[in-house]
Amino acid sequence: MKRSMILSLLFIWGGIMYVNGQGFLKVQGQDIVDENGEVFILRGMGLGGWMVQEGYMLQTADFANPQHKIRAKIEETIGATATQEFYEAWLTNHVQKIDIDSLKSWGFNSVRLPMHYNLYTLPIEDEPVQGQHTWLTKGFELTDSVISWCKQNEMYVVLDLHAAPGGQGYDAGISDYDDTKPSLWESKANRDKMVALWKRLAERYKDEPWVAGYDLLNEPNWNLPGGTLLRQLYVEVTDSIRTVDADHIIFIEGNWFANDFTGLTPAWDNQMVYSPHKYWSLNDKGSIQWVLTIRNNFNRPLYLGESGENSNVWFRDAIRLLEDNNIGWAWWPMKKVEAIAGPLSAIKTPEYETLLNFWRTGAGSVNADFAKATLMTMADNFKMANCVQQPDVRDAMFRQVYSEETKPFKNHSIPGVIHAPDYNMGRNGFAYFDNDAATYHVSTGNYTAWNRGWAYRNDGVDIEPCQDNVNTNGYNVGWISEGEWMEYDVEITTDGVYDVNFRMATPAFEGAFHLQADGGDISDLKYIPSSGGYQTWQTVTISNVVLTQENQKLRFYSDGNEYNFNSMEFVRTGPTTDVPTEFLSATTVNARVIQLNINKPLSTNLPTNPSDFEIFVNGVSKTITQYEVDGDNNRILYFTLDHKIDAREVIRMSYSGSQIEAKDGTVLQDFTQEEVQNDVPILHTVPGRVEAEEYFYQLGIDTENTTDNGRGKNIGNLDQGDYLDYMLRVPTQGTYDIRFRTAAPSEQGEIKILQIDRDGIGTLLGTYSFDPTGGWQTWTTTSSSIKLPHGEYQLRVEISQAQFNMNWFEFSLVTSNDELEDASGLNVFPNPGKGLYVVETEWDKISDARMVVYDMTGKKVLQRAFKDVRAIQEEIDLQNQPNGVYTVRLENEAGQQMTTRILKE
């Protein structure tokens, strides 16, 4: 008995020690660290809309944005008692233990709890004794619950004062500011109440290590010259907390929605973290450099307290950017009505739409009983069990951040129906491709709808409610453009020949598409006839598609524009032997390799001699040096030529033989002079003109007919961040005149030109701006200069300021650097050599220097830096590089440059 009691006491004591043994998160230099001193990245979700209702989350923003107006509208409709019942249900249902359990299972390690002060204490206007503070139980009880649920899941809580006494900003929606009463900044009594509230919270949670810290004030946005008053309030709150709590982190947000830290540096507490917010901006290091500079200058960690309200593409890129730069984050929000950009969406009932319309316009007849029942249903709809889950959102926030792999959104079995919006989950360019995939309008000034239908999913694919009554899940993909595609993981249960019935709608005649499987075409191009409207649906059938159990990824590829796509139904019509084995399509892979797509999987017993095939370039037969089956898709054959294909050459292919068999025993049918799609990038030789539309890759660009001299096409619809890639051949290194042909009604345009190496890293060659011309087709020529290295390489034209059109740009040689290359005082020996060389030179004076070696494509293959040197004698090793010509360039801080060429043989 005693032994059992002792063991029980030891177990209880051990459990208490386990819980209490959890240490506080701490600030250590520029890091937040755990109890073991390991860097800890907070990955959190903001519980927005729970304690502080915001109008946009409830779709009341146009007539009742801050919470006090929302509550007043409700009370006016259903009365004070029923309103109190609604808010009790709201606070009970919106966040429960199952929500925290789910966040943990999805990968989150923390939550940010946005608090409304009026759940913890009375407003100053309602205090029975002015200057005193009446404490309410509701807010503390709700906070206790969240902390308890998080503690059970080993998750941290950031306490965030989201609505401060009086309201901290002109934007009333986020702070519940009432402009008929004094704000936080206009009332010392309100500021005193904020100080007292934080001390009360610190007293209550000072010993709780699962509280990560205190976010003192969410997004102040008030005219506070120099940040003096903001700093004074922050310091006063910090001091009050430190009288009772020496351990917890203090999170500090700047003015103007958290991002103006004027007056808030340097830090005044050794456990202080700066907490900016980030929305709708570019996800490059430049976009956060300003806060990285604050971190570096003042040796403080960073925590992004809010971000979100964008596409999955933006989420993935932003989180990768933050974590690569050791910045924790909390996303916003967890739930709202009809959300696609969050992990959970509350269902909007028809009754709630009726109530919103009544509030908005006064139209219709809504009584108190109807309104109360509607509101109580909406409160119930915010329970986790009643919300629609958005798995694509959380997949983008966690798995996609570090993985290029795709995974099914839904399971697809063939024969059967696949709904168009149920494509795979994954990154843009891997699971799907869409031209508009996120909005960056804070950086670019141009808003782009990443999902123009605002429905079902949060990727770049444009999805809308569907009015079709055949094979629909209620949504269709729309606004489809040429080159966009969606991929679906499938299980083929039965090999065979299939008819595929596509449900399509379009008022135009520009639609076309085809099917691919595992990287190769499996159908011909199919054109879509006009159905008379975007919701007037018809069936478009592709017949004789061969599918086998080897096919695992199907891709719907758009070859046209202006149509809607609802579903595709796969109907088996017979065994694979019902159709012959035949040519489907062919395309270039690169300048020497051609891909042939066959409609069926091929046998492994292929002849070693490809003599039955013939490839013609501009009508001339070319030698095939090698052919082979694709290792992952045995419908694909690759042919290597002894000829380097030019982008403007016409390629055709023929076959006559009997040795190529499909796996089902049927023989490949002869074909004659079938066209091979030539996708080899145009190689633009410099000096010369580059037509803007002759890119080999683009992002976000459209083309249109031009009225400029020579007619043809120009590029347009440009936004900041869009770009075009061209292949350049520059035989002569040197300085070139560069001229641009542009047009714009009123805005100044700007581009950056970069040389892109094989690793995708760009070197800036120049920045160029263009004045407006008064019209989209009013053209002018702007001249400047650029230094171009020699070789064949990828040139990127990146739009850094829009809007404008461009017709062409051209290069004219001004001065050549070739004559300097072997007379510069830079010596390399042996030259030619086998890969080991010694480079030596002598500068006029001591200086820091850099040596870079490039191959003939302009790729950087070696780089060295030298400190405080005058003479250099350095060994370089190119033994692992292919034979050919290399350029060695030396430059120093004094501006001296030396260049020479070496030959490896």
**Could you report the per-residue pLDDT of 339-379, keeping only the tens digit for each?**
999 999 999 999 999 999 999 999 888 999 999 999 999 99
Report whether 762 contacts 754 (CB < 8 A).
yes
Which is nearest to 314 in space by CA: 431, 458, 446? 458
For residue 17, count CB atoms less than 10 angstroms from its CB and return exposed for 0-12, middle for 13-18, buried for 19 or more: exposed
Give the E-state strand segments of 386-506 in sequence order: 388-389, 413-414, 416-419, 432-433, 463-465, 475-477, 485-489, 491-492, 496-505
Query: Can you count the helices (H) and strands (E) in the chain?
Result: 17, 53
Instruction: Place 213 in a pLDDT band, splitting at 50, 70 and 90.
Output: very high
Q: What is the mean pLDDT of residues 377-395?
A: 97
Percentage of residues in the chain having pLDDT higher than 70: 96
**What mean pLDDT comes out for the span 560-576?**
97
CA dihedral 198, 203, 208, 212 (to 10 degrees): 20
- pLDDT value for 844: 72
Q: What is the spatial distance between Cα 415 and Cα 494, in angstroms, rounded to a whole number?
A: 7
Average pLDDT estimate for 544-551: 96
In angstroms, rounded to a whole number, what is the distance separating the alpha carbons of residues 478 and 727? 33
Residue in 369, 306, 379, 298 with CA at minimum distance from that of residue 342: 306
Tens-digit pLDDT profile for residues 284-307: 888 999 999 999 999 999 999 999
* Amino acid in position 726: Y
Q: Provide mean pLDDT across the span 747-763.
A: 88
Rounded mean pLDDT of 582-609?
92
Interatomic CA distance for residues 756 and 49, integer angstroms: 45
User: What are residue 753's DSSP bridge partners?
Assistant: 766, 797
Q: Which helix (H) or strand (E) holds 152?
A: helix 138-152
Range 513-542 average pLDDT: 97
496 φ/ψ angles, rounded to the nearest 5 degrees: 165, -175
Total length of the chain: 905
- DSSP symbols for 488-535: EE-EE-S-EEEEEEEEEE-SSS--EEEEEETTEE-S--EE----SSTT
pLDDT tens sequence across 481-494: 999 999 999 999 99
CA-based max dimension of the chain: 102
Q: What is the pLDDT of residue 9?
A: 32
Contacts of 374 (CB under 8 A, 6+ apart): 349, 351, 352, 354, 355
Q: What share of the chain is helix, strand, coil (3-state, %, to 5)?
A: 20, 35, 40
> Beta strand 897-904 with 884-892: parallel, antiparallel or unpaired?
antiparallel
- Residue 422, both tokens: 């149920």
Alpha carbons 587 and 652: distance in angstroms, whole number? 10
Query: Which residue spans within 599-648 are E strands per DSSP?
Result: 613-617, 620-622, 624-629, 636-641
Q: What is the pLDDT of residue 436?
A: 87
Residue 395: phi and psi, rounded to 5, are: -65, -40
Q: Does an H or E element contain 572, and which? A: strand 564-574
In the numeric block, the tokens 């900016």 are attached to 276
- 856 — pLDDT class (breaks 50, 70, 90): low
Q: What is the pLDDT of residue 363?
A: 85
Using the predicted structure, report yes or no on whether residue 690 has a pLDDT greater than 80.
yes
Map tokens 């019942």 to a residue: 85
Mean per-residue pLDDT, 128-138: 96
Write out pLDDT tens, residues 492-504.
999 999 999 999 9
Dihedral (CA of 298, 299, 303, 308) sign: positive
854: pLDDT strictly greater than 80: no
